[in-house]
Amino acid sequence: MGVGIEVINLNAWYGTNHTLQDINLHIPANHATALIGPSGCGKSTFVRCLNRMHETNPVGRVTGTVRIGDLDIYADAKPVQIRRRVGMVFQRPNPFPTMSIYDNVAAGLKLNGYSNRRALDEIVEKSLRNSALWDEVKDDLKKKSGASLSGGQQQRLCIARALAVDPEVLLMDEPASALDPVSTSKIEDLIFQLKSQYTIVIVTHNMQQAARVAEKTGFFLNGRMVEFDSTHKIFTNPSDKRTEDYITGRFG
Amino acid sequence: MSQVHLQPEPSEPGGQQPTVTTAPVVSAERRFLLSRGNSVNADRFFSWLMLLCGLSIFVIVGLIAFELVVRSELSWHKFGLSFFYRSFTDPYTHVTTFWDPVNQFFGARPFVYGTIVSSLLALIIAVPLAIGVAVFLTEMCPRVLRSPLAFLTELLAAIPSVIYGLWAVFVLVPILREQINPFLIRMLGWTGFFADDNPTGLGYMSAGVILAIMILPIISSLTREVMTAVPHSQREAVLALGATRWEMIRMGVLRNARIGIVGSIILGLGRALGETMAVAMVIGATPEIHRSLLANGSSMATVIANEYAEAVGDMHLSALTEIGLALFIVTIIVNFFAQLLIWAVTRGTPAQAR
Amino acid sequence: MSNGGSNFQSQVRSVTDHMVTALAILATIIVVAPLIAIFGYLVFKGASSLNLDFFTKIPKPVGETGGGMANAILGSAILLGIASVIGIPIGIGGAIYLAEFGRGSKLANSIRFTADVLNGVPSIVMGLAAYSLIVVPKIPFLPFTGHFSAISGGVALGFMMIPTVCRTSEEMLLMVPNSIREAALGLGVPNWRSVLSISVKTASPGIITGCMLAFARVAGETAPLIFTALGNQFWSFSLNQPIAALPLQIYVYALSPYDDWHRLAWGGSLVLIILIVVSVSLVRFVTSRGVLKGNS
């Protein structure tokens, strides 16, 4: 089951570039939350602050508080511990090219030292089923490389890989932006099913996508969060003029 | 620290506070992952270890310099800089010697001379050919031939020096002795550079030719690399002005790549200066200075190879080590500038014949 | 008038153009011909000298025919084993630092630059350093110091491998896309594990061939062995004793006056060349396929 996320006064920098400014936000558990905004608005940086990936960049810096469940991720834990609880799906499918499909899904557990083979078999199957990929790959799990799948399949493989560590939160950074429409709709269906079990935060530049999958939507602009509300309200009756301009296509 | 709170926090979609707390359902794999350490120490240890490996490069250079300086102390204390030019003329026989280990007389002049002469000869022969080959390969060569020829140059750069030496002893030297040298003596004997007094065929000339063959692939493949690094727009700009192909190569390519080409020539020079085995096998190994390029000589690297294992006395060892130190310093400087020039063009891909 | 002049000029230009083309082709022929001659001669001479005895027997004393270079092949294998144990891990470690930790830092750049410069230091100088480091001093508790030995030769070769292994491996690691590093880190995999199991493993076909190339290069090195490994006419299995090496033996035999030894020298050269051709072709094959397609 997922947990909620509490963000308090979050600021982030790339070198001297102040990419996120005073973000305050509560992301509810077991729902999908979409983050929209023009490119460069800081929405990707924001999700990368939620699993401390931002600081893998040597010039990245973060201040403020992020609480996932009861855990203050910047004060009470180390990055690897956070990332085991918070799965992430990236913009471009990035399966490990040297690993089989099976090993890709099992990577999060195996590389962290998990060695119970029987349990791994079950977890891999469950994760692949949850990511709607099982039927397509079950015959050559260990024969085919993760890189041999199609783009959409690869992205679902990456979702399965993230699910295999049984995370509480699933971060998705424009997961469908590199995919064709059919694969995109499969991913969206998947998000719809997964959000009852996981807290999902999805960054998207596609407003229809946000409207389709998310209960809550946040609008980012120039490193600030302009508005955060239920998706319905954001798209029908935004309270901020800038949000309205954006969703009606007046800029961005 | 790693045991974090497992309580899920279900909440209403819009609610700000969690209201209900259900019993946690924790899977085995989650429990396992939560029990794992944060690996901060392992990561720190690992990155330090890798840094140490990287620093070992400095350590090696430092060790070489330190050892050479220490082991040659005897020599540079006694002779100072005069080591590189001193000579000794016997008052009775009027024979001039530079290097006579039996009588404990040590001066490096013939070796410096031999190294410079053979390397310059090699450059004179190799540079025009290497640039010609590079121009042919980048600008004119049919696609089919390009890759095998590039492969061949790569192979040649990897052939061990001792094999070049072997080939030179049995094939090149006889050819020079029988065909080329008599011709040179006939045509250019009057200059004094080609004297007819050495029947062996060994000497500076043989060393220069084999060195040229050895550094050719290095120079030409690097030149090719910097030439391909010249952007296409430069070529097109010149062609658009109605230039012929040669004019395009001269103005569009060579002019833009000249820094890198000079770098690759200097790198070739560095290889030639330090080349040991092949030269040792064909230069004749006599510590003398001759104006004639066909005469026997010796070079810095070869005298070390020939005499070090059987050196007589500490001073002999020390003198040989000082020659090694000089060679080290010179090649470091030469390579430093070569790499600087090549990096300026190719931005940090390793400069080696590939 | 001006028309005629420009006509003449354009003729000159086109003649120059053709001449340069001819010169470039000529240069290529002049270069390629001796190279093919070297190869041809080597294969011709070498192949006729290779037989079972070559790989199983040690050299016969002067005057007797036959014999082989088995002890030199074994010696080279031992020396290269020592060199690889030193050169490959340190070289790859350095590459990992350059590609994964130090990217873009001043320190990494200067290490990279020093490695390139070190690559150009003559091998004879490396031999001198190994000699003064290991052969001369009698270091307490290190039984292999103080005399000529296989270890000292192996160390000299190992030091020579480090910069080559380091730079080729670094290039291979840089070809690994950042996105899969992020994927590993995003799963909560510790950095060290991600580097070894993801970056290095992905780049491993390239790294392995890079190591082979470095291996092949030092396999032919003679100069650093002359006063470290020294050479040996007999079998030697001890790391503490002078040991034979293929290139050393080739050197000695080439300068000897005996035909039978010349024959052995050619055979030994062919063996070395085959090793080098195989590794260079492998490197070319792997790099042209791209590091990522080398799926295991």
List pLDDT tens digits, range C116-174. 999 989 999 999 999 999 988 888 878 888 888 999 999 999 999 999 999 999 999 99
Cα–Cα distance measured from residue A147 to residue A93, given in angstroms and rounded to the nearest whole number = 9
Spatial contact of A97 and A154, defined as CB atoms under 8 Å apart: no
Average pLDDT over residues B264-289: 92
Share of chain B above pLDDT 70, in %: 90
- Residue pLDDT, tens place only, A12-21: 999 899 999 9
**According to the model, what pLDDT value does residue B22 have?**
45
Give domain limits for chain C: 2-49, 55-293
- Residue pLDDT, tens place only, A165-200: 989 999 999 998 888 999 899 899 999 899 988 999
Please indicate whether, in this complex, the C-beta atoms of C183 and A90 are within 8 angstroms of each other: yes
Band of the pLDDT at A115, cuts 50, 70, 90? confident
Residue C232, min C-alpha distance to chain B (Å): 14
Cα–Cα distance measured from residue A125 to residue A111, given in angstroms and rounded to the nearest whole number = 18
Average pLDDT over residues A133-143: 91
Tell me the backbone φ, ψ of residue C122, rounded to 5 degrees: -60, 145
Please indicate whether, in this complex, the C-beta atoms of C295 and A97 are within 8 angstroms of each other: yes
Question: Per-residue pLDDT for A143 more than 70?
Answer: yes
Query: Cβ contacts (< 8 Å) between C136 and chain B: which residues?
Result: 71
**According to the model, what pLDDT value does residue C289 have?**
67
How many residues comprise chain B?
Answer: 354
Closest chain A residue to C193, measured at CA = A111
Pairwise pLDDT comparison (A65 vs B92), residue with the higher score:
A65
**According to the model, what pLDDT value does residue B3 have?**
41
Enumerate helices (H) and strands (E) in chain A, giving the number of each. Answer: 10, 10
Tokens at residue C48, please? 């006729």
A215: contact with B, CB 8 A cutoff: yes
Q: What is the CATH number of domain C55-293?
A: 1.10.3720.10
- Residue pLDDT, tens place only, B63-94: 999 999 999 999 989 988 889 988 888 788 88
Please indicate whether, in this complex, the C-beta atoms of B9 and A31 are within 8 angstroms of each other: no
- Walk me through the domains of chain B, giving residue ranges and CATH numbers: 108-346 (1.10.3720.10)
- Residue C209's nearest CA partner among C97, C289, C119, C94 is C289
Average pLDDT over residues B307-322: 90
Task: Name the neighbours of B, counting chains with at least 3 Cβ pairs within 8 A.
Answer: A, C
Question: Per-residue pLDDT for C84 more than 90?
Answer: yes
Choice among A95-99, B13-17, B71-75, C286-290 with the minimum mean pLDDT: B13-17
**According to the model, what pLDDT value does residue B240 have?**
86
Tokens at residue B312, please? 């007589």
Closest chain A residue to C293, measured at CA = A97
Cα–Cα distance measured from residue C170 to residue C5, given in angstroms and rounded to the nearest whole number = 57
**According to the model, what pLDDT value does residue B25 have?**
62
Please indicate whether, in this complex, the C-beta atoms of A56 and C190 are within 8 angstroms of each other: no
Cα–Cα distance measured from residue C124 to residue B101, given in angstroms and rounded to the nearest whole number = 20
Spatial contact of B336 and C117, defined as CB atoms under 8 Å apart: yes
End-to-end CA distance of chain C: 73
**According to the model, what pLDDT value does residue C118 have?**
93
Question: Per-residue pLDDT for B345 more than 80?
Answer: no
pTM: 0.87
Please indicate whether, in this complex, the C-beta atoms of A90 and C182 are within 8 angstroms of each other: yes
Q: Which residues of B touch A (CB under 8 A)?
A: 1-2, 4-16, 18, 22, 24-25, 27-30, 32-34, 36, 38-40
For C138, the 3-state DSSP assignment is coil
Question: Per-residue pLDDT for A48 more than 90?
Answer: yes
Spatial contact of C165 and C91, defined as CB atoms under 8 Å apart: yes
Mean pLDDT score across all residues of chain A: 91
Interface subset of A 142-181, CB within 8 angstroms of C: 145, 147, 158, 161-162, 165
Share of chain A above pLDDT 90, in %: 69
Report DSSP letters for B237-282, one per residue. Answer: HHHHTT--HHHIIIIIIIHHHHHHHHHHHHHHHHHHHH--HHHHHH
B27, B28, B38: residue with CB nearest A81: B38
Query: Cβ contacts (< 8 Å) between C91 and chain B: which residues?
Result: 53
Give domain limits for chain A: 5-96+168-247
**According to the model, what pLDDT value does residue B68 have?**
95
- Residue pLDDT, tens place only, C9-29: 788 888 888 888 888 888 888
Question: Per-residue pLDDT for C99 more than 60?
Answer: yes
C103, C182, C184: residue with CB nearest A111: C184
**According to the model, what pLDDT value does residue B2 have?**
40
**According to the model, what pLDDT value does residue B316 have?**
93
Please indicate whether, in this complex, the C-beta atoms of B36 and A113 are within 8 angstroms of each other: yes
Q: Number of Cβ pairs closer than 8 Å across A and C?
A: 79
Spatial contact of B27 and A130, defined as CB atoms under 8 Å apart: no
**According to the model, what pLDDT value does residue C3 have?**
52
Instruction: Give the bridge partners for A173, in sequence order.
Output: A203
**According to the model, what pLDDT value does residue C231 have?**
86
For A149, the 3-state DSSP assignment is coil
**According to the model, what pLDDT value does residue B247 have?**
85
Band of the pLDDT at C49, cuts 50, 70, 90? confident
Cα–Cα distance measured from residue C122 to residue B13, given in angstroms and rounded to the nearest whole number = 72
Query: What is the per-residue burial (b if ≥16 Cβ within 10 Å, else e) of B228-259?
Result: bebeeebbeebeeeebbbbbbbbbbbbebbee
Pairwise pLDDT comparison (B148 vs B2), residue with the higher score:
B148
Cα–Cα distance measured from residue A175 to residue A159, given in angstroms and rounded to the nearest whole number = 9
Cα–Cα distance measured from residue B279 to residue B218, given in angstroms and rounded to the nearest whole number = 17
Question: Per-residue pLDDT for B346 more than 50?
Answer: yes
**According to the model, what pLDDT value does residue C5 have?**
56
CATH 3.30.710.10 fits A5-96+168-247, yes or no: no
Band of the pLDDT at A67, cuts 50, 70, 90? very high
**According to the model, what pLDDT value does residue B60 have?**
95
A165: contact with B, CB 8 A cutoff: yes
**Other CB atoms within 10 Å distance of the CB of residue C14:** 13
Band of the pLDDT at B21, cuts 50, 70, 90? very low
Average pLDDT over residues B94-102: 86
Query: Cβ contacts (< 8 Å) between C184 and chain A: which residues?
Result: 96, 107, 111
A81: contact with C, CB 8 A cutoff: yes
Tokens at residue B183, please? 């011709």
Tokens at residue B1, please? 């620290």
